[in-house]
Structure 1
Amino acid sequence: MRTMPPPGSRVAFYSRFSTDRQKQTSIEGQERLCAAYATERKWIEFKRYSDSERSGTTTMGRAGLFEMLAAAERGEFDVLLVEDIDRTSRDAADMHQIAKELDELDIVICTVAGGVVTDIELAFKAVQNQQFIKQNVLKSKRGQELAVSQGRMSGSIPYGYRKVRKLDARGEPINGLREIDPEKAPIVRRIHEELDAGRTTFKICATLNAEGVPGPKGKPWRPGALLGNRHGGLGILRNPIYVGEYQFRKTSRRRRKGKIKMRFTDQSERMVTQHPELVIVDQDLWDRNQARLAENIDRPFHTKRKVEYVFTGRVHCGVCNSTCIVSDGKYVCTGRQQKGICTNSRRVPREAVETSIFDRIKVHVLNTAVLGPALTAFREEVERVRADHVARVASQGARLKEIDQRIANLMVQLGGAAEASFASQLLMEELERLGAEKRSLERQVKQAPPPPPVAGDVEAIISSISDTLGHLHQALQADDAEASRAKELLRGLITRIVLTPTPGSVTDGRGAGDMTVTVEGPIATLIALADLNIDRVAKHGHRPMFGLHNATAVWTFSYVLKWRDPRLATVHADLPIIARLLDEADVPVSMEAMAQALCDAGPTAGADADRSPDQRARNAVSYLQTWGFTRCINMRSPDTGYVWNDRGLSDDEWKARIAEPPMTRTIPVLRIIPPEVVVVIVEQPPRPDEEAGD
């Protein structure tokens, strides 16, 4: 047992306060008490150490404490003086460790409140301080639970809401009140609507940032602010507060090795309260988005990528069954392009396939012969599902009434039981179980009923579906939420597309040729479009998902898509000019001569008519060589040129002609003058005497 240090001992002060809610003057007050105590005992002050806004439950981040221990290790003081033992630490293990180190260094711990700290006092106060912290935590939780049960909230304010400043009867502020922020709430609704329309979180954030909309805490928008955490119900797309449901005790915290570890609690451990005045997002829209987010949890990463085109992943090769992808605007077989296992070299434009499919659906599927029986089956199935739903809701409602009655009875029994008795614990467990079952049944009762059957005659339904298809096809041309929604709806109409080269047709060397297109899709998705207009479908409509049985028949049809490369029109227009040069030439015709002839002839018809004469000449020669009509006589000089294959001359004979051109007789230019007619009159002149006689 240590005695009071003698006068002249070197003393160090240590002070601390816990949170930013306390004042810096707390340190000054502690140091003033320590200075008076040391002066009274004539100790020599060595140095003052302190930690501001640092909890006593851990030693992490307490620079002043470690600086003091380092000075003690160097033997710079003899006494450690604190206001009370809890200023050093409120954790029993940490306090004993600090006391042990100082005792080994022969340093005495003194407090202003009690003098020299004995071993018994140290043990008692260390445990007492630790229990004090635990009791404070429990009291704080009870206070928070009481506030939540009274309709208030705890924690940070979610985006879209703001704090309500209100005073109670005593004039003190009431904490935990929230209200909808009229400036931010539309942003929350817009985010949910755009996700429902099929836009990715990345595109939503990019659009908001481009428009200069401030994100949470004034920072730029990021996908993480939207998605949050699926286990904790965090993020704008996952926080249930936006449908008026506040969840308390989402997380629990544990201190481990000086650090706080947080985990998300199970749904059954949370305290849930309803706040209809805080609803920002409609329940139906919320449910659709939660279902959409849940779809991405267990899907492979490569399938989570948003499709670029309306039929991406749905188009297959009819030769090897590989997927067809879009390359340079045309569908090509990956079995040939990437794997080398397919002979299908056809390349058909994506837009031509999409347009032809939508046009053919209107002809082959949207007719009374196909949709008539399907509509009858659809109506019957919807009526059966609706009847099952009504019966299930009635059963769940009866069960809810029974649970409410049992909860009321248990509350009466709990009021008569002792607070800490075994019976009260059993009653609480039963109440928790019934409460979880009640919440589950309430969510099931709120589920929307199945869609109503489609009304009207078959002709009107077909006309409505046809108009909707046309609007959706037009909406694909834009780059916004409506285009994304239209893309998703149209993808739901088609389950598989097969592209097969038409037997007997030929290709033009560039992959163009007749293609047989086979299309498959469910009838129910077409029927779902009957009562929807383009605005509601593109922005707020439900995706075409059905659980119907006999109404989900699959339609299929095939047709031949004739495709010719439009660039060949220019080639065909230039061929007569090139052919005339080859017919009249006694030596190979150079590419420069062909280009000059095309330039002299002027523009021709075709998609590539505006190209340079050199390019047009190369395209024409390439076409002729592909079909085997011409060949190149390569002289490795400007004399290199092209000739007809059917001229019957070998390459050596053509080269000889270049070396010694054939003898030719040149006919001089003859000037042809029209014949002239000259009339000459010859007669004798009159005699003089005859003139005189006259």
Structure 2
Amino acid sequence: MNGTYGYDVVKKFDEKGEPIRGDRSINQAEAEIVRRIFREYVAGASPKQIAVRLNRDGIAGPAARDWGFTTIYGSPKRGNGILNNEMYIGRIVWNRQRFIKDPDSGKRVSRLNSREEWIIQEAPELRIVEQELWDAAKVRQQTVKQNTETGEANGIWERRRARYLLSGLTRCGVCGGGYSMISATHVGCSTARNKGTCSNRLAIKRADLEERVLGALKSKLMDPALFQEFCDEFTREMNRLRMEGRASLEAARTELGRIDKQIKSTVDAIADGMYHPSMKAKMDGLEARKAQLKAELAHAEEPPPLLHPKMAGFYREQVTGLAAALRGDEGESRTEAAERLRSLVSKIVLTPADGKLTIDVHGDLAGILTIAQANALSREVSDGTDTRDQLRIRQNSNGRPREGAAVVAELAKQVKLVAGARNHRDRHSLVVII
């Protein structure tokens, strides 16, 4: 199934043989699922309940994926999600949003256009949902929104509404879905509860999770002054790795262009009557290499943009501020710690292991801590104070110690915290994954 759920793409060609894009026809089987979703929602079922039922019944969602809360509810403001797609009432809306490139991350981010900029085309032949059913769903959405805003939706809304320290950062290590509040006190895998398609049912108290993460970071940030050199080194190392990735891609593209020219020259020579049996073997080799390069480039990701030299100063400021916030009390210091964390951590992954949760911290902070540990080990090696474990980290597979930047480059940019039983405070220790 291509395009919008509930429709099939109609393949047509013009007189020149060029594809005519945009034509659709109603997929009757999927259309009935769309109507079922609207009927169940209007009858009082929540999007989460509807998703669980659809997955339980073995009904594939859009792009053959599992159904989830967001697939059904989406965003009324952006017009996405089954309950908000106006194509189901015979209206095609274009230019609802635009995409811009974030100058720091290099990623595309969406921005909603004003309603005056929307382009709307009436297409009554594409209507799937009757107007009365659509209107009833909109009324219920508005009622739920008002109840939520006034705190009447459930008794614990006010406690849940406040953004907790690690909100939006936690992910399930089994399915990759979000780890979010599942009760007033615990966080768990959203996919396991909303879709029923993830096996990770382990939950952890939000307060315990925050204590373990902050406790581990606090122990590693006792002297922020030591981190200044590591922030500089981290910025340099990340830029070196990104430049290597960029050079590798450019080399592949250059070689591909050279091979194309060689193939063309060989074909031209054959066309001019200069065929020799050795040309076939040469062409076979060129075509094989061309296919290999095209496959590599198709799966390669563009390296992110280089970090600005001033980013080292930014990292120093954020790490120093994070350490100061962690030394403070609850309240403003805790809020500041959350803001600092978000600038340095991309995600925190919780994975079940032997009945407990391991916690992997990903992002720039993990890289900075890794470099810090590598430098600390380097100094200890030179002082002759290595323990057996430290030597193991420092060695290559051939037993020879790694040198300088090689240690930094080979260490994974992540830090692991083990969340065990609540009385095991020694489990706050940070473990670098090699």
Q: Name the TM tier (shorter chain).
A: 0.3 to 0.5
The structure whose residues are more often helix, as a share, is: 2
Structure number with the bigger relative contact order (C-alpha 8 A, sep ≥ 6) is 2
- TM-score if structure 1 supplies the norm length? 0.24
Q: Tell which structure's C-alpha radius of gyration is larger.
A: 1
- TM-score if structure 2 supplies the norm length? 0.35
